[in-house]
Amino acid sequence: MMSSLITYDSFVNDPFSGQKFDDHTKGALNVLEWAYSTYDDIVYACSFGAEGIVLIDLISRVRKDAHIVFLDTGVHFQETYDLIDRMKKRFPDLKITMKQPDLTLQEQADKHGDKLWNSNPDKCCYIRKVKPLEEALQGATAWVSGLRREQSLSRSKTDFVNKDERFQSIKVCPLIHWTWDDVWNHIKDNDLPYNDLHDQGYASIGCMPCTSPSEDPNDRSGRWEGFGKTECGLHTSADQGSAT
């Protein structure tokens, strides 16, 4: 399909652009097979949301011992940690890394004030999510993300293979054509574990202080309620992702 390795510096366009997929994964499995055969150092940064569960299942069919990174901010719901334990038992060969920030919560409070997520959520996200992922992706040519086009306007133009300006790498997004119903049909059809909070009205699940119930998975209204913020910075440009 391509004559040379696609890197951040050599990226021109999505090699899957214009291709039509009629399989039940809407191209996701094809893209993952390509990605894991192309990049030996590829990393999946997983939040263990519903899309993440689907991707872990699909990735395990391609690479049983794939490297998965969870950004352990220290303020996730207990239900999220419980789900990770269940997924480790379901997929024992996966290499799941719990990546923590340089600052503990107490060190962050001492330096920037208590409950930084209430006063400056952008900075909190940068310290506890963006910077740790920068470190986790150090040296990695590509990473996998569970973005779907219908999730938000900012994600509506996402391709299967993208030039990622934020982390200066290649970002592979296999689920761009999936709907919320597709995600849940896959989870149920394959009897996959999922976060119990989904049954309590939570669609998008992040850190506990910044996540509220929201049954509409495509408006992200349950994240950073009251701040006019819909992204943590992992999927924005470098200047948007950092904070002063």
- Provide the annotated active-site residues: 232
d(CA 144, CA 187): 19
Show the 3-state SS of the chain: CCCCCCCCCCCCCCCCCCCCCCCCCCCHHHHHHHHHHHCCCCEEECCCCHHHHHHHHHHHHHCCCCEEEEECCCCECHHHHHHHHHHHHHCCCCEEEEECCCCCHHHHHHHHCCCHHHHCHHHHHHHHHHHHHHHHCCCCCEEECCCCHHHCHHHCCCCCEEEECCCCEEEECCCCCCCHHHHHHHHHHCCCCCCHHHHHCECCCCEHHHECCECCCCCCCCECCCCCCCCCCCCCCHHHHCCC
The contacts of residue 22 (CB under 8 Å, 6+ apart) are none
Q: Which two tokens stand for residue 66?
A: 């794939």
The contacts of residue 38 (CB under 8 Å, 6+ apart) are 5, 6, 142
